[in-house]
Structure formats: structure tokens, C-alpha cells
């Protein structure tokens, strides 16, 4: 095990927690940052909300990171806020980072989507499919910052759904990475090769804490995606995907692992140790599967007599914004024989203890009773 908790717990920004993170949550923290940080308004969203960046360090290696391009993907925003707080510790490592790197972070690129808790922006456009046409103000803000800053590395920070497992195993993909493709052939250019090496470095670090829970994201090429576009421009770009850790639907555990990954990547860049990590080891990381349900319930016919014998159902939670809070609403996604799938929670209606647990959950039990 690593000493991640010893490092992360003291610098975790506890005023920013949960799934619902907006400008109103992060701006008060940004106002507390000292003179070592340059906080700027770099543009506005469709609905006129400010988009801010935070720049720190004076080194020649430039790193650009952006989070909440999808408004309902907030885990990496929490992680970059924690990373800024870590920078304020002024440890020897921090001083080395500040001397060698200049880092620019956009904590929330899509503030309208963050407030509405949607993937898309206020015009119902997925900003991560708008890299070429740049029809949206948020897309033009990101591209303008890219052109102005001319980064050496790009970190594209996202969340992924609870459905993902690692390879063919029953391990959840708590963190996934991707070195985006730059063409249909998925060629490995020098820039993409560097992306792969950085991912290898982060994978090795994370395996100490969440062994077997790191996956590799699908690398099919899509020129409309921002990561692919920047890779086409010969900038090493990495997609971070913050996923599910057992019993952590609020993604508070996962934020620590994303923080750890960020710190590892930036330390490797700072210390110029990229060549210590073999590009070929990138392909050892298993690809993500999509074999998880949040809940699998077996033998449901013992509750609901309308169903056939040996019926199993797979349930996913739908994250729903109501009165400024996120509710996890269970919805049935599949029924039948689900023996090839995994459940973050599993119940069998033939077992007394499981049945008692299900009956105690009124919402879930009503869902089972009324399902046809």
C-alpha cells in the first residue's frame, strides 16, 4: 500500500464534496488562493456564467488540464481543487513542480451543464463532440486557451459510469485512462507514445492502492473529440476517467485516486523520468468492459408472481437533480438471465436476509412489485 491517505487527507478540500459541484462551490475556494496562483476569467458560457482558469508555476514545461467539460462529471473537479490545495503546502516536491512546470487548470469548463447537472451545455451540445466545428462558446474558450498557452501536455478530465469493469474481471474500473488516437489506424506518434508512458506511470502508482481496478478506455478515433484533436496537433493528451469505488457513489474515494494519478503524472514530468516507463506496458492495462449493474436481484419471481422462474433484473441508479441535491433513483435496465454480469450489490429473493433488506427499501421493493 502507498501512503496516499496520509498525503491526501490533510489537503482534501472538505467544503467541496459530493456529486453536485458548480461555480458556487469552487469560486469561494479560488478566492482563498495566494499570490502564487493567477485566477482569471477566460470566457463565459452560453448562459453567461464565468469560466475561470487557475495558473501556477514558472517552469518551461506547460501542462493544461480541464474538468467538467461534461457538467455532471464532477469527481475530477474535486481532485484538481485538492491538487491546488496541495500546491499551497510548499513542500520540496511542490517547489520542484513550481520551478519546472507552469500548470493551467480550468476547473469547470461547462458551468451551465454543471448547474443543471447534465452532460451537455445549455444548447444541448456535447462539448466533447465539438472540437472541430467549435460551435459553442465553451469550445472556443478551451481552444483559445490552448492556442494561447501552447501546452506540452494536456489532461482531459472526466467521470465514467458505474457500468464499467476491468477486462473480464468483476473488479470495477475505479480509474480508467486513454491515450487518444490521432487517426483511424490508431497510429502511435511520438506524442501519443508519451501519453502512453505517462499512463503506465500512473497505473503503476495506482496499483498500490486499487490493484486490478484500473482500466483502459476505448481508443476508437473520433476527430470531433477534444483529446483526439489535440493528439492530432502532436500534443501528448491523456483522458482521465473517474469511476466507481465500492460503496462510493459520491466518488469521495475516487477523488483521492485521481489526485494521486495527477500528482504521479506531474512528478514524472517534473523529474523528467518518463523514459523509466515502457510504452508497451500501456497495452497490459486491461480494456474496460461494460458488465456491471448497480444492483442485480435474482429470483425476483418470488416477489413478483407475474415474472417467469429464475428471473434476474439489473438495476442502474439514475442521478437526478432535485432542490440542489442529487438523488440516486433506481431504474430497471434489464431482465432475464444475468449470470454473465456483475452487480455492485447482489440480492437473492429466496434468501430471507436479502428479502428483509429489499422490503426495508420501499422504493426498490415497489419497483420489483410493479415491474412486468
- Number of domains present in the structure of the chain: 2
Could you give the strand order of the β-sheet that contains 50-56, starting from the edge strand earlier in sequence? Answer: 37-44, 50-56, 101-106, 61-66, 153-159, 237-242, 175-178, 214-216
pLDDT at 2 over 70: no
- The grid cell for 259 is 489526485
**269 and 309 belong to one structural domain:** no
pLDDT at 243 over 60: yes
Q: How confident is the prediction for the chain on average, in pLDDT?
A: 96
**252 and 308 belong to one structural domain:** no
Q: Read off φ and ψ for residue 216, nearest 5 degrees.
A: -115, 125
pLDDT at 234 over 70: yes
C-beta separation of 194 from 278 below 8 A = no
Angle between helices 252-271 and 4-11 (to 10 degrees): 110
Map grid coordinates 478540500 to a residue. 13
Report the pLDDT value the prediction gives residue 7, as an integer from 0 to 100. 94
**Mean pLDDT, residues 76-82 taken together:** 98
Q: What is the C-alpha separation between 286 and 11, in angstroms, rounded?
A: 31
Could you give the strand order of the β-sheet that contains 325-336, starting from the edge strand earlier in sequence? Answer: 325-336, 312-322, 292-298, 342-348
Q: What is the CATH number of the domain that holds 205?
A: 3.40.630.10
21 three-state secondary structure:
coil
- Per-residue pLDDT tens digits for 207-224: 999 999 999 999 999 999
**58 and 17 belong to one structural domain:** yes
By percentage, how much of the chain surpasses pLDDT 90? 95
**Mean pLDDT, residues 259-272 taken together:** 98
- Among 272, 289, 306, identify where a domain stops: 289
- Per-residue pLDDT tens digits for 330-356: 999 999 999 999 999 999 999 999 999
* HSE-up of residue 136 (Cα within 13 Å, Cβ side): 25
Angle between helices 92-100 and 75-87 (to 10 degrees): 100
Q: Read off φ and ψ for residue 176, nearest 5 degrees.
A: -130, 155
**275 and 317 belong to one structural domain:** no
**210 and 349 belong to one structural domain:** no
Map grid coordinates 506547460 to a residue. 62
Enumerate the β-bridge partners of residue 159: 242
Chain centroid to CA 205: 17
Using DSSP, how many helices (H) and how many strands (E) does the chain show?
Answer: 11, 14
Report the pLDDT value the prediction gives residue 370, as an integer from 0 to 100. 86
- The grid cell for 137 is 462558446
Confidence of residue 44 (pLDDT cuts 50, 70, 90): very high
pLDDT at 102 over 60: yes
pLDDT at 1 over 60: no
String of DSSP letters for 310-358: T-EEEEEEEEEEETTEEEEEEEEEEEE--TTSEEEEEEETTSHHHHHHH
**175 and 130 belong to one structural domain:** yes
Domain that includes residue 34, residue range: 4-289
**262 and 298 belong to one structural domain:** no
**240 and 94 belong to one structural domain:** yes
By percentage, how much of the chain surpasses pLDDT 70? 99
- Among 247, 274, 289, identify where a domain stops: 289
String of DSSP letters for 240-286: EEE---TT-TT-HHHHHHHHHHHHHHHHHHHHT-GGGS-GGGGGGSP
Q: Read off φ and ψ for residue 150, nearest 5 degrees.
A: 50, 65
295-328 as b/e, with b when 16 or more CB fall inside 10 Å? bbbbbbbbbbeebeeebbbbbbbebeeeeeebee
- Nearest-CA neighbor of 49 among 117, 159, 138, 120? 138
Q: What is the C-alpha separation between 275 and 322, in angstroms, rounded?
A: 49
**133 and 219 belong to one structural domain:** yes
By DSSP bridging, strand 175-178 and strand 237-242 are antiparallel
- Among 289, 306, 339, identify where a domain stops: 289
**354 and 269 belong to one structural domain:** no
**225 and 325 belong to one structural domain:** no
pLDDT at 249 over 80: yes
**Mean pLDDT, residues 31-39 taken together:** 96
Report the pLDDT value the prediction gives residue 146, as an integer from 0 to 100. 98
| More confident call, 302 vs 225 | 225
pLDDT at 183 over 60: yes
**332 and 349 belong to one structural domain:** yes
Confidence of residue 307 (pLDDT cuts 50, 70, 90): confident
pLDDT at 372 over 80: no
- The grid cell for 239 is 483522458
Nearest-5° Cα angle at 42, 37 to 44: 135
- Nearest-CA neighbor of 78 among 154, 25, 151, 133? 25
Amino acid at each position: 500500500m502507498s501512503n496516499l491517505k496520509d498525503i491526501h487527507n490533510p489537503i482534501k478540500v472538505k467544503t467541496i464534496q459530493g456529486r453536485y459541484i458548480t461555480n458556487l462551490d469552487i469560486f469561494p475556494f479560488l478566492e482563498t488562493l495566494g499570490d502564487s496562483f493567477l485566477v482569471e476569467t477566460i470566457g463565459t458560457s452560453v448562459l453567461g456564467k464565468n469560466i475561470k482558469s487557475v495558473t501556477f508555476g514558472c517552469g518551461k514545461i506547460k501542462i493544461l488540464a480541464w474538468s467538467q467539460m461534461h457538467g455532471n462529471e464532477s469527481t475530477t473537479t474535486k481532485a484538481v481543487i485538492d491538487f491546488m490545495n496541495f500546491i499551497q503546502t510548499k513542500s520540496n516536491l511542490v517547489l520542484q513542480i513550481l520551478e519546472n512546470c507552469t500548470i493551467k487548470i480550468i476547473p469547470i469548463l461547462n458551468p451551465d451543464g454543471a448547474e443543471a447537472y447534465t452532460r451537455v451545455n445549455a444548447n444541448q451540445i456535447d462539448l466533447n463532440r465539438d472540437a472541430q466545428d467549435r460551435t459553442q462558446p465553451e469550445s472556443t474558450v478551451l481552444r483559445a486557451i490552448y492556442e494561447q498557452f501552447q501546452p506540452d501536455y494536456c489532461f482531459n478530465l472526466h467521470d465514467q459510469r458505474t457500468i464499467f469493469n476491468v477486462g473480464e474481471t468483476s473488479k470495477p474500473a475505479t480509474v480508467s485512462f486513454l491515450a487518444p488516437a490521432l487517426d483511424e489506424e490508431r497510429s502511435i506518434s511520438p506524442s501519443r507514445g508519451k501519453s502512453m508512458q505517462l499512463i503506465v506511470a500512473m497505473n503503476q502508482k495506482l496499483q498500490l492502492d486499487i490493484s486490478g481496478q484500473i482500466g483502459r478506455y476505448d481508443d476508437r478515433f473520433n476527430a470531433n473529440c477534444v483529446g483526439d484533436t489535440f493528439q492530432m496537433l502532436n500534443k501528448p493528451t491523456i483522458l482521465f476517467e473517474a469511476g466507481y469505488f465500492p460503496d462510493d457513489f459520491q466518488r469521495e474515494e475516487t477523488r483521492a485516486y485521481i489526485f494521486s494519478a495527477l500528482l504521479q503524472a506531474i512528478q514524472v514530468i517534473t523529474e523528467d523520468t518518463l523514459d523509466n516507463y515502457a510504452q508497451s506496458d500501456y497495452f497490459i492495462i486491461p480494456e474496460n468492459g461494460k458488465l456491471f449493474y448497480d444492483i442485480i436481484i435474482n429470483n425476483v419471481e418470488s416477489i413478483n408472481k407475474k415474472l417467469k422462474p429464475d428471473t434476474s433484473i439489473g438495476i442502474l441508479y439514475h442521478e437526478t437533480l432535485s432542490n440542489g441535491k442529487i438523488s440516486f433513483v433506481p431504474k430497471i435496465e434489464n431482465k432475464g438471465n444475468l449470470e454473465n454480469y456483475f452487480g455492485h450489490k447482489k440480492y437473492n429473493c429466496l434468501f430471507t436476509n436479502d428479502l428483509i433488506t429489499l422490503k426495508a427499501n420501499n422504493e426498490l421493493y415497489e419497483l420489483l412489485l410493479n415491474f412486468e
